[in-house]
Structure 1
Amino acid sequence: MVHIIHGLPAGMEAAAAALYWEAFGAKLGKLLGPAERAERFFAETINHSSIFAAVEGSTLLGIAAFKDGEDGFCSAGLQDMLRHYGLGALWKMIPLSMLERSAPEATLQMDGICVSAAARGKGVGSALLKALYAHGKAEGLSFVTLDVIDTNPRAKALYEAQGFVAISVESTSILRPLLDFSEATKMRRPL
């Protein structure tokens, strides 16, 4: 039986980092890769409280991250970046900061949803989204927002089916060679 838990259970950091990298590695690969380094970085800097985890027994099936204050899935600062990427972290910080999103007032900002290949199509993603919606309502928020990139039309279709509507589109412009996508669509859904 699948359980949705607020907070990533201890000991599941490596599994969560691997899921996150599987979902977002194409987007972040040139900035945070290779995979082994990125997964280690994320495993050590996960913001446990900003995650809903889908767990079956001792297996992590999926995660949904949201902005918890300033931090989302990852709570890394400059010291963490330097520890994992050395002085190369300094040039990475600028494009990474340009990807950061803050939630408008009364809004829950999603920071990624990932479901393991074995659990896809079994309602895990929908259950994680429902947990995010319930959390936002409990916090007295009115909307949930997310950004979806143009190279992920399946995700956009899922969000539209969940009631999200596009509210703006932002070009990656000069960051395109680093990100491997051209634009991101901001989507919003009432809670």
Structure 2
Amino acid sequence: MKPETVTYQVGIPDEHRSVAIDLFDEAFGEKLALAVPDREKRKALFVEGFNLDSAIAALVDGNLVGIAGFHAHGKSLTSGVKYRHLLSHLGFLRGNRAAIVFSLFERTPRPNELVMDGIAVQSQARGMGIGKRLLGEIRTFAQIHGFNRVRLDVIDTNPKARKLYERFGFTGVKTERFPQLKSILGFGGVTTMELRI
């Protein structure tokens, strides 16, 4: 697979929904497991709740190899997972617990701001510059749609991602530390980063 064979588009084709969910869960499953420990139940929620048009897709020969979700115009890649879905899939107690945990990860865009909602690349496609190119596609989308900055959060246990964002021009604007929650969350701090456009 060569970098020039990768094509990028706004929106994940519906036939790739299952692959996109697997990619997202592979990248963020550990964090999402705090809300919904059972992987199959997480995936079932996303079958209904993924907004495929709120992402950039990277494709090779028609196969999905990477995604970059974003939050814009009132919806995000994962905003289709509603409270009613949590209750119907998980029951009252587990559904309410999941809703509380998911609310901790919620990020609402400010005016003229596009918020990234996760980036994931299949393991066999890593090292080809796909992650960097997905960031470029996010920046282009933001420019075309009149946003003046892109914001994302990166956890302290993912220094490779932070380095990628910094190389791309993102700068840290705020760091929140909560070491007392590290044993529960799996990370003890989050840095908010911005890219000015």
- Establish whether TM, by shorter chain, passes 0.5: yes
Shift of 1:173: 6.4
- The structure-2 alpha-carbon separation of the partners of 1:174 and 1:68, relative to structure 1 and needing over 3 Å to count, comes to farther
- The structure-2 alpha-carbon separation of the partners of 1:43 and 1:172, relative to structure 1 and needing over 3 Å to count, comes to farther
Unaligned runs of 5+ in 1: none
- The structure-2 alpha-carbon separation of the partners of 1:172 and 1:60, relative to structure 1 and needing over 3 Å to count, comes to farther
* 2:48 aligned partner, one-letter code: E
CA-to-aligned-CA distance 1:93-113 (integer Å, 9 cap, x gap): 112112100122221110100
* 1:35 aligned partner, one-letter code: R
* 1:91 aligned partner, one-letter code: R
Whether 1:50 aligns to 2:47 is: no
C-alpha distance in 2 between matches for 1:13 and 1:178: 30
3-state DSSP of counterpart to 1:118: helix
Give the equivalent residue in structure 2 for 1:84: 89
C-alpha distance in 2 between matches for 1:121 and 1:151: 20
Give the equivalent residue in structure 2 for 1:159: 165
Give the equivalent residue in structure 2 for 1:139: 145
Give the equivalent residue in structure 2 for 1:6: 10
Say whether the 8 Å CA contact 1:16–1:43 is kept in structure 2.
no
- Percent same amino acid at aligned positions? 34
Shift of 1:70: 3.2
33-42 vs 101-110, greater mean Cα deviation = 33-42
* 2:91 aligned partner, one-letter code: G
- The structure-2 alpha-carbon separation of the partners of 1:47 and 1:152, relative to structure 1 and needing over 3 Å to count, comes to same
- The structure-2 alpha-carbon separation of the partners of 1:167 and 1:54, relative to structure 1 and needing over 3 Å to count, comes to same
RMSD, matched Cα? 1.5
Task: Name the TM-score, length of structure 2 as normaliser.
Answer: 0.91
Task: Name the TM-score, length of structure 1 as normaliser.
Answer: 0.93
* 2:34 aligned partner, one-letter code: K
Give the equivalent residue in structure 1 for 2:75: 71
Give the equivalent residue in structure 2 for 1:117: 123
- The structure-2 alpha-carbon separation of the partners of 1:177 and 1:93, relative to structure 1 and needing over 3 Å to count, comes to farther
Shift of 1:178: 3.7
C-alpha distance in 1 between matches for 2:178 and 2:95: 20
- The structure-2 alpha-carbon separation of the partners of 1:143 and 1:48, relative to structure 1 and needing over 3 Å to count, comes to same
C-alpha distance in 1 between matches for 2:108 and 2:192: 12
* 1:150 aligned partner, one-letter code: D
3-state DSSP of counterpart to 1:109: strand
3-state DSSP of counterpart to 2:115: strand
- The structure-2 alpha-carbon separation of the partners of 1:178 and 1:85, relative to structure 1 and needing over 3 Å to count, comes to farther
Matched residues, number = 191
Runs of 4+ in 1 over 6 A off after TM superposition: none
Give the equivalent residue in structure 1 for 2:41: 37
